[in-house]
Structure 1
Amino acid sequence: MLDNMPRGTICIEDIEIGMTRHLRKVVTDTDIEMFAQVSTDHNPVHLDDAYARDTIFEGRIAHGMLTAGLISAVIGEQLPGHGTIYLGQSLKFLGPVRPGDMVLAEVTVTDMDIAKRRVKMDCRCSVDGKPVLAGEATVLAPSAKLD
């Protein structure tokens, strides 16, 4: 299940500090299995119930980078959106995301250099209001002035 804001592009000329966009997604077993296939990360904490029960998480968890990918989706689809180029991303993983959890991924513009088309954003993910990921992204935003 996805709950997204409208997709598209917000050009650098129309971006303002404080702008926020988000999406909500339930992370499923299929998402975790598919991420393991694509990333080749088959750590049993993500895939094996018996193994994961004996870890500090006491059960299976989603890959941290799967959760981080939701931030990428907000940036690439909403703010700035289509045509955005990632320049950097810092991440801190604050808590586990489990199969069935509804993740809220949000980005907020914190700084801009319009001449260089650079946008810095606060990035965060939460489950039931509890932070599970925090970080900052720097991107190159599309411009309405470019061909």
Structure 2
Amino acid sequence: MSLGHGYYLEDLSPGMEASVSKTITDADITAFAELSGDVNPVHLDDGFAAGTIFKKRIAHGFLTGALFSTVLGTKLPGPGCIYLAQGLKFRGPVYIGDEVVATCKITAVDAEKGRVTLACDCSVNGKTVLEGEALMMVDRKP
């Protein structure tokens, strides 16, 4: 599957944004635990999670944050860009069955360095559960 090349640096400007949405499933959490090795019982054990402040199992924060990579790598800037940095602030839990909307919005374009800064937000029912800032390297037009 080829998506072709995404945006080039010259095509980007502050204010541009893109989003993806995903409903988090039990299978997603189980697969992420297996892949990452993070088997914290707050993610995997109903009984354990019931005794936490969350009262039920929650998704891994980095599973939620991975949706930023989906936006950045497939939509904006899209294929061809390179991740340089990602800051994250976890604001709330994500539960099985929650639909997470990940949005990345360009805040700055550094034409000299070929860098783009984006504000990143994951929300559930309009409430931010994860926010951060990404720095991407983006190709110039050939």
TM-score interval, smaller chain:
over 0.9
Q: Does 1:122 align with 2:125?
A: no
What letter corresponds to residue 65 of structure 2 in structure 1?
Answer: A
Q: Specify the code of the residue in structure 1 equivalent to 2:93.
A: P
What SS is found at the alignment partner of 2:130?
A: strand
Q: Give the alignment partner of residue 14 of structure 1, picking from 1, 11, 14.
A: 11
Counterpart for residue 31 of structure 2: 34
Alignment-derived partner of residue 95 in structure 2: 98
| TM-score of the aligned structures, taking structure 2 as reference length | 0.95
> What is the root-mean-square deviation in Å for CA atoms of aligned residues?
1.3
Relative to 1, partners in 2 of residues 1:65 and 1:7: Cα closer, same or farther, differing over 3 Å? farther
In structure 2, what is the Cα distance between the partners aligned to 1:124 and 1:7? Answer: 26
- Unpaired runs of at least 5, structure 2: none
In structure 1, runs of 5+ residues without a counterpart are 1-5
Counterpart of 1:135 in structure 2 is 132
Query: Which residue does the alignment assign to 1:3?
Result: none
Normalising by the residue count of structure 1, what TM-score does the alignment of the two structures yield?
0.92
Contact 1:28 1:100 in 2 (8 A): yes
Alignment-derived partner of residue 72 in structure 1? 69
**Between Structure 1 and Structure 2, how many residues are aligned?**
140
C-alpha contact 1:8 1:78 (8 A) present in aligned 2: no
Q: Paired residue for 1:53, among 50, 53, 58?
A: 50
- Indicate the SS of the match to 1:55: coil
